[in-house]
């Protein structure tokens, strides 16, 4: 939400922290013009069959409270074409850590919209998709050329906010930014129209409208009207719609004291007709999307909060995974825990990069990404990433939240109702006495909390 920071002050900050790459990150206008002529977008295609969908796209608008979005007539129209997710949560504030979380399954304590470059040993959803050569891309409205890494690119006539790096998930990661091929998969809306017309759309995409259209610098009336106008023709495009699941959501809500529940809609050809206009009250977060994409295509987990995240029901129904009911009464997803990307705004700074799981059963059901297992071999995870919601015992973050497997309350046809509740009481972890009953994971967690 620090959208009002002047570019100048940010440039100064960026050049101090990232002097070694300042020329890459903030190209001059001359370089931008040159790159527009020379850097060509890259549009790989693939057709890997998924369990519930063959294409997954998400479009994020900005900073709207659930009730304000739900009251908008254009979003109501869109909701009638699909499934409304009533219990979907952003994971923190402000914007950038949510976009970061959508790619890497963690916020790394980020509590700001600054210029970040996340080390190359942090894996992302692009690495998961690459394990099966599932084509991916990003469509960032008005990014001036594919893979532009600058902090922003303003309207060149009015200098109003237009494209901003903080809303571009994958460019934040060196594992993408250090690879010129991958950079060319981060394209603008002109490329979306080209790819659509040429039937060269990727199977996974993240779509970011500019700061006017995404409601950031306007309001929900404007943003939702833009969204309906953009999406409605696609709903009638048989190439686009074919086995597609499209998520419309928000990066975060706008009232920081609220729960960060964001109004979200699933649309597309993958949705059965009988579910159009219905609601789904399963607990989801932005982490559920990485997990659902993984479960759909049989991909591993990043070993971060995607590991324990609930799966979209459309996928869980195919894999048989039993989601959790999360009691959101005490859930705080409006702030995050300490980490290396904190500036002390809403979380504390800690120099330690969190270590992912290397050995766990995740909701997606296909283990952990090989490079994560290799990179972090013989280390203990920083958090209990198998949880369906983020928590940090050491910082006392979300320790009063409980979750129960959904089947334990809803199996009315089950004759054995006694043993199925898998209650989790995170608060207990820090006071557990060391005992033979501790699992290796729990021991590791305790050690890393010291």
Ligand X SMILES: *[C@@H]1O[C@H](CO)[C@@H](O)[C@H](O)[C@H]1NC(C)=O
Of 378, 385, 373, the residue nearest 337 (C-alpha): 385
212 binds ligand X (CB under 6 A): yes
Min. distance of Cβ 9 from ligand X in angstroms? 20
Q: Which two tokens stand for residue 2?
A: 């620090």
Instruction: Enter the tokens of residue 273.
Output: 């007709």
Among 210, 249, 342, 363, binds ligand X (CB under 6 A): 210
Q: CB of 250: closest distance to ligand X in angstroms?
A: 14
* Out of 276, 332, 348, 366, the residue judged to bind ligand X by CB under 6 A: 332
* Catalytic pick among 217, 243, 327, 400: 217
Shortest Å, Cβ 141 to ligand X: 6
- Adjacent-strand bridge partners of 326: 403
| Token pair listed for 121 | 């040993």
Binding of ligand X at residue 23 (CB under 6 A)? Answer: yes
Catalytic annotation present for 217: yes
Query: Could you tell me the smallest distance in angstroms from the CB atom of residue 148 to ligand X?
Result: 9
Beta carbons within 8 Å of 85's beta carbon, 6+ residues apart: 249, 264, 265, 266, 279, 280, 282, 284
Q: Give ∠ CA 427-428-430 in degrees, rounded to 5.
A: 90
Q: Which residue in 139, 151, 346, 376 binds ligand X (CB under 6 A)? A: 346
Q: How far is the CB of 172 from ligand X (least distance, A)?
A: 16
Nearest approach in angstroms of CB 327 to ligand X is 12
The helix/strand/coil state of 278 is strand
Residue whose token pair is 């996974």:
204
Interface pick for ligand X out of 359, 379, 409, 430 (rule CB under 6 A): 359
* Count of other CB atoms within 10 angstroms of residue 432: 14
Site for ligand X contains 301 (CB under 6 A): no
DSSP-assigned letters across all residues of 382-429? SS-TTSSS--BTTTTBSTT--EEETHHHH-TT-S--SS------GGGG
Q: What is the x/- site pattern for ligand X, positions 145-184, by CB under 6 A?
A: xx--------x----xxx----------------x-xx--
Residue 145 or 397: the one with the smaller Cβ distance to ligand X is: 145
CA distance 447 to 102: 28
- Considering only 63, 310, 334, 336, the residue that binds ligand X (CB under 6 A) is 334
Cα-flanking dihedrals φ and ψ of residue 249, to 5°? -150, -170
Q: Is 339 in the site for ligand X (CB under 6 A)?
A: no
Instruction: List, in sequence order, the alpha helices (H) in 83-198.
Output: 95-104, 125-130, 174-177, 180-183, 189-197
| Only segment of 55-63, 94-102, 211-219, 288-296 that touches ligand X (CB under 6 A) | 211-219
Longest alpha-carbon distance in the chain: 72
Site for ligand X in 109-128 (CB under 6 A): none
> How many Cα neighbours within 13 Å face the side chain of 427?
6
**From start to end of 5-72, where are the E strands?**
55-61
Q: Among 188-196, 244-252, 283-291, 349-357, which window interacts with ligand X (CB under 6 A)?
A: 188-196
Helices (H), 180-335: 180-183, 189-197, 220-235, 238-241, 286-297, 313-319
Q: Which of 10, 61, 125, 314 binds ligand X (CB under 6 A)?
A: 314
Q: Does residue 97 touch ligand X according to CB under 6 A?
A: no
Q: Which lies closer to ligand X via its Cβ, residue 13 or residue 407?
A: 407
Residues identified as active-site: 217
Q: Which residues of this protein are in contact with ligand X, per CB under 6 A? A: 20, 23, 36, 41, 47, 54, 93, 130, 141-142, 144-146, 155, 160-162, 179, 181-182, 188, 190-191, 210, 212-213, 219-222, 238-239, 242, 256-257, 275, 308, 313-314, 317, 322, 332, 334-335, 346, 359, 384, 386-387, 403, 405, 407-408, 411, 413-414, 420, 424, 429, 440-442, 445
């Amino acid at each position: 939400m620090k959208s009002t920071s002047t570019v100048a002050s940010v440039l100064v900050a960026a050049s101090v922290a990232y002097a070694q790459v300042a020329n890459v990150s903030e190209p001059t206008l001359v370089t931008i013009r040159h790159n527009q002529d020379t850097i060509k977008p890259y549009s790989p295609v693939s057709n890997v069959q998924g369990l519930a969908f063959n294409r997954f796209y998400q479009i994020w608008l900005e900073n709207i409270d659930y009730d304000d979005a739900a009251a908008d007539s254009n979003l109501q129209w869109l909701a009638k074409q699909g499934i409304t997710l009533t219990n979907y949560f952003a994971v923190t504030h402000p914007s950038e850590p949510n976009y970061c979380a959508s790619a890497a399954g963690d916020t790394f304590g980020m509590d700001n919209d600054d210029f970040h470059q996340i080390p190359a040993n942090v894996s992302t959803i692009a690495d998961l998709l690459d394990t099966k050569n599932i084509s991916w891309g990003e469509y960032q409205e008005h990014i001036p050329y594919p893979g532009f890494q600058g902090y922003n690119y303003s309207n060149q006539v009015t200098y109003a906010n237009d494209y901003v790096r903080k809303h571009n998930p994958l460019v934040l990661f060196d594992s993408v930014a250090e690879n010129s091929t991958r950079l060319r998969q981060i394209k603008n809306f002109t490329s979306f129209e080209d790819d659509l017309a040429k039937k060269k759309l990727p199977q996974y995409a993240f779509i970011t409208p500019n700061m006017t259209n995404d409601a950031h610098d306007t309001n929900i009336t404007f943003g939702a009207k833009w969204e309906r106008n953009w999406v409605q023709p696609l709903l009638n495009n048989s190439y686009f719609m074919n086995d597609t699941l499209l998520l419309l959501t928000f990066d975060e809500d706008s009232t920081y004291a609220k729960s960060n529940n964001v109004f979200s809609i699933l649309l597309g050809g993958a949705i059965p007709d009988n579910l159009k206009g219905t609601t789904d009250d399963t607990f989801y977060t932005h982490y559920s999307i990485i997990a659902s994409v993984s479960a759909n295509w049989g991909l591993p987990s990043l070993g971060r909060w995607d590991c324990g995240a609930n799966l979209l029901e459309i996928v869980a129904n195919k894999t048989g995974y039993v989601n959790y009911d999360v009691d959101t009464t005490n859930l705080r997803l409006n702030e995050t825990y300490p980490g290396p990307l904190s500036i002390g705004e809403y979380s504390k700074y800690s120099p330690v990069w969190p270590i992912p799981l290397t050995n766990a059963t995740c909701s997606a059901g296909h283990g952990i990404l090989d490079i994560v297992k290799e990179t972090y071999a013989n280390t203990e995870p920083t958090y209990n990433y198998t949880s369906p919601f983020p928590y940090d015992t050491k910082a006392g973050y979300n320790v009063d939240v409980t979750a129960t497997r959904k089947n334990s309350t809803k199996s009315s046809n089950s004759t054995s109702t006694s043993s199925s509740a898998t209650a989790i009481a995170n608060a207990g972890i820090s006071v557990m006495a060391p005992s033979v009953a501790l699992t290796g994971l729990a021991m590791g967690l305790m050690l890393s909390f010291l």
